[in-house]
């Protein structure tokens, strides 16, 4: 169990008294069922990456059959060798085949579809691309990546998401662009208003497909796929492959190449542990006692509800801790401002609901803290995936009663 250091009222041992780990459900299955997650699944020590485990790609970026200007952009971004999903997916996408990519979070899948898409546009400026994602933050993040790769190339994208001005998005859709990145609900709204026509779209990316289906977007996704060009290439990326996704694949994809890079549920580089909160203890006081310690450098704290996120953020602010909250009820500009402040280390604590658990690339997160136990183990996996990225070690802590 994680040892909490009490910086407010030091004891003789200069720490909080450790309570023994008790588990009265030894016979319970380790798999998540219902609304109960076996807390043993929140405890796991990080492993060092062994030399023999270092991935050796089949191709270098220089060897890929892509435009020289794109190669220079990739090198300029600091990319040296492809990640496993990039190494396997990019050549397949370049070949024109439909792709199913199964990969854990933080594996570089955004570049795995952006690089071949950009190359396609460079070869044919008339190419139209639709990228469908579950959340506003992921849409904006993909646009930022796209803009960095295509700087100076005269290739443009438009983001259309809920929570932002639809009139502004309509104006942007009337400007020159090759790529539309959006959430299913807003895309459907724009189609209903007759301002978005997908009939010429020959390239579709479904990113975080499992999350979109979990959020109830299956019918919207099917509608979007039914409206694009008959001759099209579909790239579906997901962390899991459910029966619902299998149905979607059978209905819309043609002889897809299946690529799986999912090696385990959680990263080997994440130390996972629990924080026991005894009856009568104030969870927020316990959290504050942890956050004032210097090794909590950049911390993402998850709550179950929007109200809980706002309440916790307010209490942290009252304790003199710099934090911001993001959730579905926050206006888009405030959510983006909070994310930017966190990314730029203007604040070191971001309180979030699960809206931030999928797909966001936030560098150097030292800790993920589950202030509230997630609803499912899958949510837990995606929450803690915000730390321990690339070659860095991360720490994930979960509060339990």
Answer whether residue 2 is part of any domain. no
* Euclidean distance between CA atoms 368 and 383, whole angstroms: 7
Q: Are residues 290 and 249 in the same domain?
A: no
Question: For residue 292, what are the domain limits?
Answer: 39-49+268-400
Q: Please report the pLDDT score of residue 300 as a whole number.
A: 95
Answer whether residue 324 is part of any domain. yes
Mean pLDDT of 265-289: 86
Task: State pLDDT tens for residues 173-182.
Answer: 999 999 999 9
* Euclidean distance between CA atoms 248 and 228, whole angstroms: 15
Q: Are residues 284 and 236 in the same domain?
A: no
Q: Are residues 244 and 355 in the same domain?
A: no
Pick from 12-16, 129-133, 151-155, 274-278: least confident: 12-16
**pTM of the full predicted structure?**
0.73
Place of tokens 């580089």: 269
Residue 26 pLDDT class (50, 70, 90 cuts) = very low
Q: Are residues 251 and 276 in the same domain?
A: no
Q: Are residues 185 and 325 in the same domain?
A: no
Q: Are residues 302 and 314 in the same domain?
A: yes
Residue 390: pLDDT above 80?
A: no
Q: Please report the pLDDT score of residue 187 as a whole number.
A: 98
Q: Are residues 144 and 293 in the same domain?
A: no
Residue 42 pLDDT class (50, 70, 90 cuts) = confident
Of the residues 219, 239, 260, the one at which a domain ends: 260
Answer whether residue 247 is part of any domain. yes
Q: Please report the pLDDT score of residue 266 as a whole number.
A: 56
Sequence-ordered strand ranges (E) for 266-353: 270-276, 299-302, 323-326, 349-352
Answer whether residue 326 is part of any domain. yes
Q: Are residues 246 and 327 in the same domain?
A: no
Task: State pLDDT tens for residues 341-377.
Answer: 998 999 999 999 987 666 677 888 999 999 999 888 8
Helices 109-123 and 68-76 pack at an angle, to 10 degrees, of 150
Mean pLDDT of 147-164: 95
**Mean pLDDT across the chain, nearest whole number?**
85
Domain count within the chain: 2
| Choice between 26 and 48, residue whose per-residue pLDDT is larger | 48
Place of tokens 């304790």: 319
Residue 32 pLDDT class (50, 70, 90 cuts) = very low
Q: Are residues 81 and 152 in the same domain?
A: yes
Residue 52 pLDDT class (50, 70, 90 cuts) = very low
* Euclidean distance between CA atoms 205 and 212, whole angstroms: 13
Answer whether residue 23 is part of any domain. no
Residue 398: pLDDT above 50?
A: yes
Residue 4 pLDDT class (50, 70, 90 cuts) = low
Of the residues 260, 295, 328, the one at which a domain ends: 260
- Tell me the two tokens of residue 365: 């997160």
Q: Are residues 238 and 309 in the same domain?
A: no
Phi, psi of 357 (to 5 degrees): -80, -20
What is 262-291 written as a DSSP string?
---SS-TTEEEEEEE--TT--HHHHHHHHH
Q: Are residues 155 and 279 in the same domain?
A: no
Task: State pLDDT tens for residues 185-244.
Answer: 999 999 999 999 999 999 999 999 988 988 889 999 999 999 999 999 999 998 888 888
Q: Are residues 283 and 339 in the same domain?
A: yes
Task: State pLDDT tens for residues 91-128.
Answer: 999 999 999 999 876 678 999 999 999 999 999 999 99
User: What is the greatest pairwise CA distance in the chain?
Assistant: 72
Q: How far is CA 204 from CA 62, 110, 114, 252, in A?
A: 26, 13, 11, 11
Answer whether residue 15 is part of any domain. no
């Amino acid at each position: 169990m994680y040892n909490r250091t009490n910086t407010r009222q030091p004891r003789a041992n200069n720490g909080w008294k450790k309570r023994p780990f008790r588990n009265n459900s030894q016979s319970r299955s380790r798999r998540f069922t219902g609304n109960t997650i076996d807390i043993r699944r929140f405890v796991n020590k990080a492993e060092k990456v062994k030399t023999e485990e270092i991935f050796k790609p089949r191709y270098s970026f220089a060897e890929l059959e892509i435009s020289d200007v794109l190669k220079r952009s990739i090198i300029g971004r600091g990319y040296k060798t492809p990640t496993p999903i990039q190494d396997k997916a990019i050549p397949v996408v370049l070949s024109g085949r439909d792709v199913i990519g199964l990969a854990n979070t933080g594996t570089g899948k955004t570049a795995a579809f952006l690089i071949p898409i950009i190359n396609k546009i460079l070869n044919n400026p008339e190419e139209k691309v639709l990228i469908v994602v579950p959340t506003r933050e992921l849409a904006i993040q993909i646009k930022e990546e796209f803009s960095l790769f295509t700087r100076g190339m005269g290739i443009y994208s438009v983001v259309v998401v809920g929570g932002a001005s639809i009139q502004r998005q309509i104006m942007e859709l009337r400007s020159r662009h090759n790529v539309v990145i959006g959430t299913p609900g807003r895309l459907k709204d724009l189609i209903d208003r007759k301002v978005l026509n997908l009939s010429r779209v020959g390239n579709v990316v479904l990113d975080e497909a499992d999350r979109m289906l979990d959020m109830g977007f299956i019918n919207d996704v099917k509608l979007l796929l039914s409206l694009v060009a008959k001759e099209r290439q579909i790239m579906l990326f997901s962390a899991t492959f459910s029966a619902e996704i299998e149905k979607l694949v059978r209905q819309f994809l043609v002889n897809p190449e299946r690529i799986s890079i999912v090696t385990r549920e959680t990263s080997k580089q994440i130390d996972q542990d629990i924080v026991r909160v005894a009856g009568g203890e104030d969870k927020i006081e316990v959290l504050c006692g942890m956050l004032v310690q210097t090794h909590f450098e950049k911390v993402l704290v998850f709550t179950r509800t929007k109200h809980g996120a706002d309440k916790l953020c307010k209490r942290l602010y009252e304790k003199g801790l710099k934090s911001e909250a993001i959730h579905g009820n926050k206006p888009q500009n405030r959510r983006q401002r909070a994310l930017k402040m966190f990314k730029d280390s203007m604040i070191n604590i971001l309180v979030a609901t699960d809206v931030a658990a999928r797909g966001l690339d936030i560098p150097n997160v030292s800790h993920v803290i589950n202030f509230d136990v997630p609803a499912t183990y899958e949510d837990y996996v995606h929450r803690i995936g915000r730390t321990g990225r690339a070659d860095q070690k991360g720490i994930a802590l979960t509060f339990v009663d």
